[in-house]
Structure 1
Amino acid sequence: MNLSKADFERISKLVYRNARPIDFARWKYHFEKGSQMDIVEVLSSYQNEDGGFGHALEADSWNPNSTPIQTTTAIEKLCEIKFSDKHHLIVQGILNYLDSGAEFAERRWNNTVASNNDYPHAPWWHTDSSSTSRSEYNPTATIVGFILEFAERDSGLYKLGMGVAEELIELFLHNSKLEMHPLKCLVAMINSIEKANLQDHFMFTRVQEDVNEQITQLIQRDSQDWHGYSCRPSTFIKSPDSSLYEENKALVTEELDYLLTTRNADGVWDLTWKWNAFDKEFAISEYWWTTELIIGNMLFLRAFNRL
């Protein structure tokens, strides 16, 4: 079962109608031979003078101020397109923000910030939220990975990144029971360590083995549980090149079929969450997130030749 050309065109038209500029640029890049630099240019519009990111780049938080979470979202977008220019202004801005010490306490970047409360947001980005377990990893691990890839190796920021990375790996090896989002951040850090050729500085093989074991435990194996907040195979297995693909091949095939058969009347996928507040603003963010889901699911389908 594959997505038909007619359905692809229908989805494409929906993206053209509803996507915000950053996600439209991502769609064009991935599916229409668009420019990497178009994404970077639009992404820069979310960057503040201090180098951090805000302005609802993370669509569940409408805070215009720079925050670690929204800056991490920018890092993820750059990683998605394999952006590697260490000297580009957008990268240097992020490094300056991280080096400033803003929202950095007890050797971790804060998961939530006080100014979130002043703007429309999902409940998990409120400062009194306890919904994000093991927040020492989220977003710190992703941020640290970015530092190890892009910061100058004789800089204080790089040395800080190395130290925090060592701490997080030690912490994980002592307690590997992570939830989905913290584990995604740890995986991002591990991928960055590998791209930066820093494996020899860490217990890399053991960490990879423990991460894969934890991913295997987290993946929901009953498709009946995939309609809500859950860890599907695609959360961590992005292509047949994944080290976890062969042992989960049947489950990946099941998810591919699931994606093709659970599209709504518009031919796309419904969100599995709501804010329970700020209804007008969430109605807008819901459109933004829909395109995010479309891009992620379409990339997954394409990786396994289902388009």
Structure 2
Amino acid sequence: MEIFASGREFVRRDARLVERRLFATLFEGADGAGVLDALRGYRNADGGFGHGLEPDKRCPDSTALDVEVAFDVMIAAGVRDDELIGGACDWLQSVATPDGAVSLASPVIEGYPRADHMSDWTYVPGLNPTAGLVGRLDTLGFEHPWRDQAAEWCKAELAKGLPQDGHGMLETLHFLEHQPDVDLDQIRDWLPKLSTYRANADDPSYGVTPLDFAPTPGSLWRQLFTQEQIDGHLDRLLADQQADGGWAITWEPPGPMATLEYRGVVTVAALRSLQLNGNLSID
């Protein structure tokens, strides 16, 4: 109970409106329409999302990274707004390559404060984020011409081989979750080869973990990991709660406000993960 109560206090005190509305929907029975209302504040006239919805860049312009976060928030809240999703897909189509691939960001971020890792590598179209966006649209059950075109591009790219880094693989698994005949042995064997993959729960460094790949007991990807691995990362998640009730991050956002915003994001995510895995009491 103390874990939840102190986490709730952190969210109420320090998190953004969108995380507070999401928390209320996930844990307090609030209508998910409030989450959509909060997301609309980050929407641009072009249909995309920006304004630092993903806090590592303070750019108001639309980026695919912000669109992805908007989709994630909707999925977590269990809500879907066809106007918001359709507008975002139209925007994605407008900035995609002729084959349908999109990049995380673009040079528009350069005029605004941003984390050091938000640089020109994020301007290159790739499976991260194209595959993840397609997978999230599949989860939302939303059809769009861009989704279909981008899905074909993803299949062609994956025919060349799996991604080399943890984030690319995370985005790819969002996509493969909705594809037939997935080779689980191939993925299991590939995981140790990934950069930014943190298999060991005792490793304090930045990385994508088994719990990120398979966040719920019902996840298709749970069978890639042992229960001991999952339990280790759940124990680590419990241990990583800070004295102020929130969870810390292991990278440097562009400033103190962005750091606090991202801590709100990861705190709601941590509480949700612990609840879904039966490690959190909210009574």
TM-score, normalised to structure 2, is: 0.86
| Partner Cα separation in structure 2 for residue 110 and residue 117 of structure 1 | 15
Does 1:220 find its partner at 2:198?
A: yes
User: What CA distance in whole angstroms lies between the structure 1 residues aligned with 2:116 and 2:137?
Assistant: 29
Q: In the alignment, is residue 112 of structure 1 matched against residue 98 of structure 2? A: no
Using the size of structure 1 for normalisation, the TM-score is: 0.80
Aligned AA (2:2): A
Give the direction of change, closer, same or farther, for the CA distance of 1:222–1:91 in structure 2 (3 Å limit). closer
What is the aligned residue count? 275
**Higher RCO (CA < 8 A, seq sep 6+):** 2
Q: Is the 8 A contact 1:134 1:182 kept in 2?
A: no
CA contact (8 A) 1:103 1:109 kept: yes
Matched, 1:90 2:84: yes
2:276 is aligned with 1:299? no
Structure 1 position 189, deviation (Å):
2.2
Code of the residue aligned with 2:102 in structure 1: it is: W
Structure 1 position 143 matched with structure 2 position 133: yes
1:252 aligned residue: 230
Q: Counterpart of 1:31 in 2: which secondary structure?
A: helix
Offset, 1:173: 3.3
Counterparts of 2:100 and 2:222 in 1: how far apart (Å)?
35
In the alignment, structure 1 residue 181 sits paired with structure 2 residue 167: yes
Deviation at 1:216, TM superposition (A): 6.4
- The residue type paired with residue 190 of structure 1 is L
CA gap 1:211/1:302 in 2 versus in 1, 3 angstroms: same
Gaps of 5+ in 2: none
- 1:257-293 deviation digits (Å, cap 9, x = unpaired): 2222233222332210114xx5xxx100111111111
**CA-CA distance at 1:106 after TM superposition:** 5.9
Question: 1:74 pairs with 48, 57, 70, which one?
Answer: 70
Structure 2 matches for 1:16-27, cutoff 5 A?
Answer: 16-27=12-23
Segment drifting more, 90-99 vs 109-118 = 90-99
In structure 2, distance between residues paired with 1:76 and 1:62: 19
- Structure 1: unaligned runs, 5 residues or longer: 153-157
Partners of 2:102 and 2:125 within 8 A in 1: no
Q: Please state how far the C-alpha of 1:176 moved relative to its aligned partner.
A: 1.5
Q: RMSD of the TM alignment (CA)?
A: 2.5
Shift of 1:296: 1.4
Instruction: Give the drift of 1:248.
Output: 1.5
On the 8 A contact 1:141/1:168 being kept in 2, the answer is yes
Counterparts of 2:202 and 2:123, CA distance in 1:
24
- Report the CA distance between 1:63 and its aligned residue: 0.6
Q: CA deviation at 1:145?
A: 3.5
